[in-house]
């Protein structure tokens, strides 16, 4: 059985003190739960202090992005080795804001995924369609294209270090949320694509998270869908009052 993962992407929010305090609250709460894993993705400049606050616990700390190059004259970039050096164990790749605000392609994402794995980092790969694409009936096509492009060149062994996050772009930061039926259909389709790309064992073992306006009021309904293995949380991950109940929901759903 896949262990649910609830991950919080802080994006460009919080300061040092607030970040460390939030990490401590999540760490402490997670220690009292069974059957769920947690991860947080602070801004680069806070990773080391947040990772220090979470050292020796089950709460993973990761980077929100990674350079596709190992080292060199790449001003403003952060390498996988640097992330590891400050305590990160995982990294987001292909978040919708990287794809749609900064124009990152599937090919660029594939380079970043391979660089992350070579650096010893786990990867949470984000995929998902825009509202225009959903309205045009292109959800499955978009997800398939992004998976094929971003996972290009990976082996079945590599997939043991990969988590997929399905994020309908139209539901990120908008207050809109995919219904459990909509999210479940997309997740089931993604799992089918993984089976075709690799094999059924890989598809069955890979965690697929839902991301898009997840909050305490809808977490249980979303996480109860069979193919949804957790959540990638944005705005609700910025306070303990909102994030901790989502961790609880993941635990409660799995013990029903």
**Helix axis angle, 180-197 to 216-223, nearest 10°:** 50
If you compute the radius of gyration of the chain from its CA atoms, what whole number of angstroms results? 17
Task: Please determine, for residue 60, whether its predicted confidence score (pLDDT) is greater than 60.
Answer: yes
**Residue among 179, 239, 96 nearest 247 (CA):** 239
Its pTM stands at 0.97
pLDDT score for 83: 98
**Could you read off the pLDDT of 184-229 as tens digits, one per residue?**
999 999 999 999 999 999 999 999 999 999 999 999 999 999 999 9
pLDDT score for 178: 87
Instruction: Please compute the mean of the pLDDT values over residues 124-141 and round it to a whole number.
Output: 95
pLDDT score for 256: 45
Share the mean pLDDT of the chain: 96
Alpha carbons within 13 angstroms on the beta-carbon side of residue 199 total 6
Taking the domains of the chain in order of start, what are their residue ranges?
Answer: 5-254
Instruction: Please compute the mean of the pLDDT values over residues 42-56 and round it to a whole number.
Output: 97
**Could you read off the pLDDT of 69-101 as tens digits, one per residue?**
999 999 999 999 999 999 999 999 999 999 999
Catalytic residue numbers, as ranges: 95, 167
Q: Tell me how far apart the alpha carbons of residues 83 and 28 are, in angstroms, rounded to a whole number.
A: 24
pLDDT score for 175: 77
User: Class for domain 5-254, per CATH?
Assistant: alpha beta
pLDDT score for 254: 66
**Residue among 127, 105, 113 nearest 66 (CA):** 113
**Could you read off the pLDDT of 161-190 as tens digits, one per residue?**
999 999 999 888 777 788 999 999 999 999
Instruction: Please compute the mean of the pLDDT values over residues 236-248 and round it to a whole number.
Output: 98
């Amino acid at each position: 059985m896949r262990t649910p993962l609830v991950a919080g992407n802080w994006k460009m929010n919080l300061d040092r003190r607030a970040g460390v305090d939030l990490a401590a609250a999540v760490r402490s709460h997670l220690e009292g739960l069974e059957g769920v894993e947690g991860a947080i993705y602070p801004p680069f400049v806070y990773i080391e202090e947040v990772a220090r606050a979470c050292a020796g616990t089950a709460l993973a700390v990761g980077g929100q992005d990674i350079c596709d190059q190992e080292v060199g004259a790449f001003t403003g970039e952060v390498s996988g080795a640097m992330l590891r050096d400050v305590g990160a164990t995982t990294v987001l790749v292909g978040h919708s804001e990287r794809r749609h605000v900064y124009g990152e392609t599937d090919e660029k994402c594939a380079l970043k995924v391979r660089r992350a794995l070579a650096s010893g980092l786990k990867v949470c790969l984000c995929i998902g369609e825009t509202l225009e694409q959903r309205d045009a009936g292109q959800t499955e096509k978009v997800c398939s294209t992004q998976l094929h492009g971003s996972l290009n060149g990976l082996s079945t062994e590599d997939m043991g270090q990969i988590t997929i996050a399905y994020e309908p772009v139209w539901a990120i930061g908008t207050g809109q949320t995919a219904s459990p039926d909509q999210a479940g259909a997309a997740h089931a389709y993604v799992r089918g694509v993984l089976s075709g790309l690799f094999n059924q064992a890989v598809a069955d073992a890979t965690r697929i998270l839902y991301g898009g306006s997840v909050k305490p009021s809808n977490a249980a309904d979303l996480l109860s869908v069979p193919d949804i293995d957790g959540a990638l949380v944005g705005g609700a991950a910025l306070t303990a009052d909102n994030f901790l109940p989502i961790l609880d929901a993941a635990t409660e759903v799995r013990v029903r």
